Amino acid sequence: MGNIPENVKGAVDVDPWLEPFAEVLSERRYLADRWSHDIRHSTNDNTPQSLADFARTSYKNYGLHADPVTKKITYREWAPNAVQAFLVGDFNNWSTHSHELQKDQYGVFSTTIPASNSGDYAIPHDSKLKVLFVLPDGSHAYRLPAYITRATQPDKETARQFGPSYEARFWNPSVQYEFKNKRPSFERKTGSLRIYEAHVGISSPEPKVASYKEFTHNVLPRIRDLGYDAIQLMAIMEHAYYASFGYQVTNFFAISSRYGTPEDLKELIDTAHGMGLLVLLDVVHSHASKNVDDGLNKFDGSDHQYFHSLQSGRGEHPLWDSRLFNYGSFEVLRFLLSNLAFYIDVYQFDGFRFDGVTSMLYNHHGVGAGGAFSGDYSEYVSRERSDVDHEALAYLMLANDLVHEILPDSGITIAEDVSGYPTLCLGRHLGGTGFDYRLAMALPDMWIKLLKEKSDDAWNMGNIVHNLTNRRYGEKVVAYAESHDQALVGDKTLAFWLMDAAMYTDMTVTKPLTPIVDRGIALHKLIRLVTHSLGGEAYLNFEGNEFGHPEWLDFPNKNNNDSYHYARRQFNLIEDNLLRYQHLYNFDKALQHTERHYKWLNTSQAYVSLKHEVDKVIAFERNGLLFIFNFHPTESYADYRIGVEAPGRYKIILNTDRGEFGGHDRIDEAASEFFTTDLRWNERSNYIQVYIPTRSALVLSLAS
């Protein structure tokens, strides 16, 4: 190797192809490290502070805070463009002059409101308030405090008179929820991660917005029963437009009031922890809602307080109709890092799935010609061709530093990146961005493309294996066959691609099994198992997809007359013993529990010994287990030879053809033992012979 900068030498050691780009990688890391140094030495007395101290100081000082001893309330707000500021609300009859804030040289407004004459807080719990700014031109602007922790929709009469803007609330209950359970232990480097992606509002069979409490009581036990060990909660950060799926955030420190109160969400997370479930937040720091009255846009009257200015051409996302953060601003860094610390500390989240990382990483946001990534390294890390937003990348590095500093053993970070940016999931100490995982976003696209364009007998086994194993060495991925993206109206879930209208007419066990449903159930299981076992170091499922939910997801909007009919998950279907949905649920449960016991996720990538295009058979070994898949639509094979490295007696630990999984019970498991023959086969030292029925899969383990 040549003269490689020390701060990225670890990354080049992992991937020597990065050597020609080491200087660029070094500069990118240096920017984040310089920012980290500046933050750690940004105290007034120059006393070094940790990144966590910096982030925590922000959310603990900005916004509204009540002193339980003195009953004083302090309020601080950064709004440099504003000339004056007043706190107004129910507590002072919305007087525009009684509670003025003082502005300092840094553009921070502040005030302290003493206790009332009765010795209680002057602002009652859950009462409405806003901050009124006087702008340089003399105009007035009412805003929800940027660090507000509760914002609610107005009632119909208020919305009719004053518009639909959200209302800020002073959340200060006399009895606050106290966490009873410790965070579940999780070893980030070696632990299995099986994620159940969920949206609280749709988590009911009824056409309504479900609550945190309903999720706690009704859905958490299902997730535990299925065998997942982590929940990824979507649409938690407050968003004015329900149909945005939570991706148009208006209030970053407020959790969605549609589902209940902050105390309700704390109870949900605490209960999950008591069940051994980690809880991840789908965090949206890639952009923000353009809403002015109830969001951050033009908060202090300027268009560039938290965001790039509109005049710069960088202030708006070209497709999402939203504002883009200026990650190079010290105060924006303070705000976003504080947001992460807040959710870890106050709500006890165990980590984050970062939305829209591709949009953050590149100035072109992954849109148009700039987003057509071929995998050429120069598209990511060359000075000439790459269009990387260095400031956004530096922020992501600091965000990972912060999560892993606060939760050094168990904190989890996942990047939603479709571009394949190299070093994204390498440790910061190596010169990487520091994420623990990235989503394997190409996998659901592969499955849908196959189902749309190819008949079963034309599926290419080699291509399937290539896509499932095509990931960067040393960088972990979350594999999934489908997520919420495929469940949305306009797209189709795998179950719908496989069975379509038959899901409404032929899923009953009181009718003979039809060829369409037989094929659909069989392939639904095979696709999940091969993705789970070959596709990554972690696994994700979107709620309802585990049992082949029969309908898409469509939030109430003007196009469907504000209907909630499709904004729900019909868990009742798996409780009906006359329906075949229970079979898919049973299989998913067996799959998760088998992995929990035998462990193949987060182990070395599998050794694939067979990709037979005529027989449509795939075989591979991972962590001492043998996986055998027969994708052939009509052919079953008796005494089929499968190469295996370790000699001994093998037993079946998972069989997709079991009757309880909607299969045909063609394999007598009790009588099935497989002894190796000491003869080399398919580049393995031994082989076994198995019966593998059409459209079925087996997982074998050495018998003890």
Positions marked active-site: 355, 416
CA distance 287 to 285: 6
CB-side neighbour CA atoms (13 Å) of 654: 26
Pick the closest to residue 132 from 75, 173, 57 (CA basis): 75
From CA 591, how far away is CA 481, in angstroms rounded?
A: 14
Tokens encoding 549: 């939910």
What kind and span of H or E run contains 373?
Answer: none
Cα four-point dihedral sign 661, 667, 668, 673: negative
- Name residue, tokens 């990534």: 373
Q: 215-220 long-range contacts, Cβ below 8 Å, gap at least 24? A: 215/259, 215/268, 216/264, 216/267, 216/268, 216/271, 218/571, 219/543, 219/571, 220/268, 220/271, 220/272, 220/275, 220/277
702's CB contacts (< 8 A; 6+ apart) are 624, 646, 648, 649, 650, 651
Is residue 482 within 8 Å of residue 447, measured between CB atoms? yes
Residues in contact with 479: Cβ distance below 8 Å, sequence separation at least 6, in sequence order: 440, 443, 468, 531, 532, 534, 535, 536, 537, 538, 539, 540
Q: Tell me how far apart the alpha carbons of residues 41 and 234 are, in angstroms, rounded to a whole number.
A: 35
Q: 34 vs 28, 40, 390, 404, CA distance in Å?
A: 10, 10, 13, 18
Strands 412-415 and 437-439: parallel
- Which helix (H) or strand (E) element contains residue 611? strand 607-612
Identify the CA nearest to 536 among candidates 495, 478, 483: 478
Sign (positive/negative) of CA torsion 305, 342, 290, 159? negative
Q: Rounded to whole angstroms, how far apart are CA atoms 549 and 553?
A: 10
8 Å CB contact between 329 and 107: no
Query: What distance in Å separates the CA atoms of residue 438 and residue 426, rounded to the nearest whole number?
Result: 11
Please state, as a whole number, how many other Cβ atoms lie within 10 Å of the Cβ of residue 689: 14
Count of C-beta atoms within a 10 Å radius of residue 370: 15
User: How many CB atoms neighbour CB 441 within 10 A?
Assistant: 18
In the beta sheet, which residues pair with residue 579? 508
Question: Which of 544, 562, 535 is closest to 241 using CA atoms?
Answer: 562
User: Taking a C-beta distance cutoff of 8 angstroms, is the pair 276, 164 a contact?
Assistant: no
Q: How many residues does the chain have?
A: 704
Q: Which of 578, 464, 595, 467 is nearest to 523 (CA)?
A: 464
> 3-class DSSP state for residue 233?
strand
Closest Cα partner for 153 from 214, 235, 242, 266? 242
The token duo for 68 is 């339980």
Q: Which helix (H) or strand (E) holds 253?
A: strand 251-255
